[in-house]
Homo-oligomer: A and B are copies of this chain.
Amino acid sequence: MIIVLKPNISKKEEAAVLKEIKRLGYQPHVMRGVARTVIGAIGDESTHQSLEALTAWPQVESVTPIQKRYKLVSREAHPTNSTVKAGGTVIGGKKFVVMAGPCSVESEEQIITTAHAVKKAGATVLRGGAFKPRTSPYEFQGLGEKGLKLLAKARKETGLPIITELLSENHADLVAEYADILQIGTRNAQNFQLLIAAARTGKPVLLKRGLAMKIEEWLLAGEYVLANDNANLMFCERGIRTFETYTRNTLDLGAIPSIKRESHCPIIIDPSQGVGRADLVVAMCKGAAAMGADGLLIEVHPNPAKAWSDAAQQVTLEGFAKLMEELKPFIAAAGREL
């Protein structure tokens, strides 16, 4: 840690800081600069107690950690890319993985039709919401277990593994019984109890980025999964919240190289939530493929105009097939295959 002292403090005040640094197991290293005195505190920040409390000392101007706070998710800990298996699909390897399906499971016909169509177009995972977190208590909250059963039926018919959202610790076992991948939504991205519950099911976890989550916080939330003995973690960028209102969110495609640099875990892009309008989804998918994402999570609906939720951002079955065609040259250019 680097501790910067305020200008013009007394010898006694400085000595007190040095003493506290030693007390917490670090070795202080004093540098007297032109305008400020700076202390380097040498020791392992991951095993010693934090020196951050020094910020509260009146003679201290700032305290800056040097070590990164995440470990198990970091590329330093695991230099090669890790992969995650769900059914027969491997995520993070040579194959570019497309997960597609409706925002909400609405009926047997809807989910089965969609499953067949997205499989035919090249998707290898089926998505569908059974439990839905909704901004208003008066909006459709999902079919619940009935939805899970319909997803399982669609899997049986098509062979596609399924991904669905987990939004309550109390549902962890139930959802894990049906799902191949548990999705943690953006509003629960720092619901650490839910992350622990998800990790403990042993199922792969796809962790969406919170609306206002910094890359470092996202990695640390992922660390909760790995630290609870579940190595099957994927990150999913789905748009952050900014001042811009033209799109629903601002899809931060820069998260792809950033996560790839810091972590060994796969990164998936959700363009549907990211922009919130189907007409911009195709361009976002191309960018994601080109920039090295490991896959996409796309909302597809047989009839978006009658969808029970998020109608504006779901693409049609035909639109999805066309999108997959248009995507191919970019996947190939990125050295991946479908």
Contact partner, A304, options B53, B193, B252, Cβ 8 Å? B53
Could you mark each residue 249-288 of chain A with 1 if its beta carbon is under 8 Å from any beta carbon of chain B, else 0? Answer: 0111110111001000000000000110111100110111
Chain A interface size band reads: 35 or more
Is A217 among interface residues, defined by CB-CB distance under 8 A? yes
Could you mark each residue 42-56 of chain A with 1 if its beta carbon is under 8 Å from any beta carbon of chain B, else 0? Answer: 111110001011111
CB-CB under 8 A from A42, the residues of chain B are: 31-34
CA distance A189 to B82 in the complex (A): 33
Is A70 among interface residues, defined by CB-CB distance under 8 A? yes
CA distance A190 to B211 in the complex (A): 11
Binding site for B on A (CB under 8 A): 2, 4, 7, 20, 29, 31-36, 38, 40, 42-46, 50, 52-57, 64, 66-67, 69-70, 76, 133-139, 167-170, 187-188, 190-194, 210-212, 214-217, 220-221, 223-224, 227-228, 240-247, 250-254, 256-258, 261, 274-275, 277-280, 283-284, 286-292, 304-307, 311-312, 314, 329-330, 332-334
Instruction: Please give the count of copies of this chain that the complex contains.
Output: 4
Known A-B contacts: A38-B40, A253-B253, A286-B292. Give 16 more (CB < 8 A).
Answer: A34-B43, A53-B305, A56-B305, A56-B307, A56-B311, A135-B220, A168-B193, A170-B193, A187-B190, A188-B190, A210-B211, A246-B258, A247-B258, A257-B284, A287-B288, A329-B332
Task: Indicate the member of A38, A64, A170, A191 with the most B CB atoms within 10 Å.
Answer: A191
Chain B: CB-nearest residue to A32: B42
Contact partner, A290, options B45, B251, B330, Cβ 8 Å? B330
